[in-house]
Amino acid sequence: MRTLISFAALLLSVVLLQLSTGGVGPLDALSGLALGFTPTEVGFLGSAHFLGFLIGCWWAPRLLGTVGHSRAFSAFAAAGAIGLLSHMIITTPLAWAIMRVASGLCVAGCYTIVESWMNAKVTNETRGRVMGGYRVVDMGASLVAQTLIAFLEPAHFVSYNLLAILCCAALIPLTLTTAQQPEVPEAPRLRPMLAIHKSPLAAAGVVVAGLTSAAFRMVGPIYGQEVGLRADQIGLFLAAFVAGGALAQYPAGWLADKFDRRWVLIFLSVAAILSSGLTVFAGTGGIAMVMTTAVIFGFTTFPIFSVSAAHAHDFANSSERVELSAALMFLFATGAIASPMISSALIGGFGPSALFIFIAAAHLVLVIFGLSRMRARPTNPERTPYVYAPRTTFTIGRLLGGARDKR
């Protein structure tokens, strides 16, 4: 019973954390524009978030080993709350970028602790159910977080205070649980070249997934405003992307387990190029068309990370899986850091359609690279099962456990 209560507390903390940190991205984009930030400066905020995320992914396991789960979680949540509360005290792009580093640090740190705690408590019998619940809760809270922009007034201290309250509330379930804190696991080594060595195509795939996801989530509100969407409609636009990604997981997994994963990856990238073009076309149409294309765009792009990860793990053994997952997350974060700055600068120079032209170009490069890699070597006939891999922390590979080794 204590284990179940512990999981409920952890998942509730995840919901509150996701609502808080997931809502700040679109709010910052619209607030920055309201305060006169340029599109490039707004994109810089998104890049700063993922820089903080990358630092947090590396630092969190080490801090966890020093002070324990509850204290480390409190420290990271406090950093996120301070970043949120500081927004309306200093309203300059550079100051906000520093605050977004704090929010990225909060996300990576808190998720690392949650996943470490869950991994220590699950058994082989419960791992599948726990991971299923974790994915549903994380994805559902992320979807709701995008819609908060409909209720949060841009560039207003109350809006940021409400998000800070949610961030602080995430402390309560985890720190007050009576379940005994688990032992601290050893931090995974960060070896980015391991992913490149195992599968150059998978490494390229996760970088493109980072470029796509960060560009849409962090710069999507600028696009939405440029094509005439209201704040509440921008929230639905972003939520539609997440919903499309959730709907894609089962069919993408079925295809990835049945066919050559390189062809599946190429097929998804071609579909992403087409959906990018469709989204550009929909920008001149009605609201229903814009929302529909957002679902299609999420459906075609969201699974690329998990398919790439599955392809990389086909060439790894059990002892390499945790470090390989960390390497793939590092490459994803690297793409996510670069993407908002590039895409926002393109929007500022060439208009809103430049966002999806940039994304389509990245996927075109992935298609060409995928076709060239198919000529370089055959795929591994001994494939691991497809696993939906949350893009959370470097430690997610440990939580997935032996799921990829099951035949």
Residue 276 CA to residue 363 CA, distance in Å, equals 10
Please report the pLDDT score of residue 181 as a whole number.
67
Contact indicator for 360, 272 with CB cutoff of 8 Å: yes
Residue 1 is predicted with a pLDDT of 47
Phi-psi domain of 351 (left: phi exceeds 0; alpha: psi -120 through 50; beta: other): left
Q: How many CB atoms lie within 10 A of CB 1?
A: 6
H helices present in 122-199, as ranges:
127-147, 157-169, 171-176, 192-198
φ, ψ for residue 286, nearest 5 deg: -85, 175
Q: Which pLDDT score, from 0 to 100, does residue 81 have?
A: 96
Given a contact cutoff of 8 angstroms between Cβ atoms, the answer to whether 162 and 152 are in contact is yes
pTM > 0.75: yes or no: yes
pLDDT at 298: 92
Determine contact, residues 367/358, Cβ cutoff 8 Å.
no
- pLDDT, residue 375, reads 84
Residue 282: per-residue pLDDT: 77
**Can you give the pLDDT at residue 272?**
95
Q: pLDDT at position 184, please?
A: 66
Q: How far apart are the first and last CA of the chain?
A: 31
Under 8 Å CB-to-CB from 310, ≥6 apart: which residues? Answer: 256, 261, 383, 384, 385, 386, 387, 404
How far is the C-alpha of 400 from the C-alpha of 396, rounded, in Å? 6
Distance, in Å, from the CA atom of 2 to the CA atom of 85, rounded to the nearest integer, reads: 35
CA distance 342 to 336: 10
Which tens digits make up the pLDDT trace of 157-169? 999 999 999 999 9
Residue 159, CB-side half-sphere exposure with 13 Å CA sphere? 19
Identify the segments of the chain with pLDDT beneath 70.
1-6, 124, 178-188, 283-285, 401-407
Summarised one tens digit per residue, pLDDT across range 20-64 is 999 999 999 999 999 999 999 999 999 999 999 999 988 888 888
Beta strands in 54-154 (DSSP E): none
